[in-house]
Amino acid sequence: MQTEDNLTAVLYGIRDLRLEQRPIPEPKDDEVLLKIDVVGICGSDTHFVQDGHLGPLAVDKPMGLGHEAAGTVWKVGKSVTTLKKGDRVGIEPGIGCGKCQYCRKGRGNLCIHRSIGKKAHSGECLTRYFVCSSDCCFKLPDHVTIEEGALLELLSVAIYVCKRGNVRFGSIVLIQGAGPVGLTTMLMCKAFGASQVIMTDPIQHRLDKAKEMGADFTVQVHPKNSAEDITKGILSTLGRYPTVTIDCVGIELTIAVAVKVTISGGVVVLVGLGGTPTVNIPIADIGLREIDIRGSCHYSNEYSAALEMVATGKVDVKPFITHRYKLEDTLKAFNTVITLEGNPIKVLIYPNSQ
């Protein structure tokens, strides 16, 4: 690799993903230049590539992709004292401004400036070299792999989901969707003390992986089935009502199932954004049975905890890494996720691999 090579993946529209050269950026005083080692493909990246939008967020101009990333410090700004060249780091892709009302309350995930990247340029790590604030970099212990570092973002999401759902010792948890978010959430529910976790998905190989990684029960569901039928299948398998349901899918059907299957007085956490922005929900169930519906957006101050969980061996995310690609094969990597060819779970891209 030549030092002037900064090949970058840029999305121009639906399935219009291009590789182009960009200048290698120079870090400001409080920033670092990173050589990106590995990037995970997130479901949100896939939605942008396949559909041109994620919920209300649309691709209306060329945009970078990739926010599950880790890399090696290549150059440091003159004010940076916590990092040096050669340090391996996980990258937190979005940090709040620290000044708005949400940041001051410790809820930086709701920061009104977060989306424009005041601290870190979220979603632009599918590139050879990347500049970000040193505050966004978490130094990896020697025994933590660079791949694990890239998956800290995913674990941070899972930790925050568990907090939003008040998962604790004795919780009975249903997770809808056995993709990467669902699987990491299952691992984290177990770490939080959940006594049983049941997972649903239409794809059997994902359920097989869920069982392999520790799910107590799995149920294969079919999108053409009614919410009532799916609910009956879950209750028949589990033998009780879940106290917490976590929906990592986000379509009208799964939201309806979440409301119907959760115990009265229980909690439903909405994580996935797989459907339309507006859906019909069983409002009578929510009101009469006092079901708490909670959103879950990104995470807030979970990165250190995620790194600690990996470093101490409390969670192991390596088993669901299934595919690895070079940056030059980025389109092929996304096609693998979209077509499900080869039974992918987690697909990683290596921008600087030879």
Could you report the per-residue pLDDT of 279-326, keeping only the tens digit for each?
999 999 999 999 999 999 989 889 999 999 999 999 999 999 999 999
Specify the DSSP class assigned to residue 169: T
Q: pLDDT tens, 193-233?
A: 999 999 999 999 999 999 999 999 999 999 899 999 999 99
Superfamily (CATH H level) for 7-151+317-350: Medium-chain alcohol dehydrogenases, catalytic domain (3.90.180.10)
Tokens representing residue 159 in the block: 């930790």
Q: pLDDT tens, 232-270?
A: 999 999 999 999 999 999 999 999 999 999 999 999 999
Same fold, 7-151+317-350 and 158-295: no
Please tell me whether residue 68 adopts helix, strand or coil conformation.
strand
What pLDDT does 56 receive? 66
Q: Where are the alpha helices (DSSP H) in the chain?
A: 43-51, 101-104, 146-150, 152-164, 180-191, 204-213, 227-238, 252-261, 283-288, 303-311, 330-339
pLDDT at position 178 over 80: yes
The C-alpha atoms of residue 154 and residue 142 are separated, in whole angstroms, by: 20
What pLDDT does 122 receive? 46
Average pLDDT for the chain: 92
The C-alpha atoms of residue 300 and residue 269 are separated, in whole angstroms, by: 16
Q: How far is CA 64 from the centre of its chain?
A: 17
Mean pLDDT in residue range 175-187: 97
End-to-end CA distance of the chain: 7
Topology of 158-295 in CATH? Rossmann fold (3.40.50)
Structural element, H or E, at residue 31: strand 31-40
Residue spans of the domains in the chain: they are 7-151+317-350, 158-295
The answer to whether 127 and 352 have CB atoms below 8 angstroms apart is no
Please tell me the total number of residues recorded for the chain in this structure.
354
What pLDDT does 116 receive? 35
The C-alpha atoms of residue 68 and residue 93 are separated, in whole angstroms, by: 8
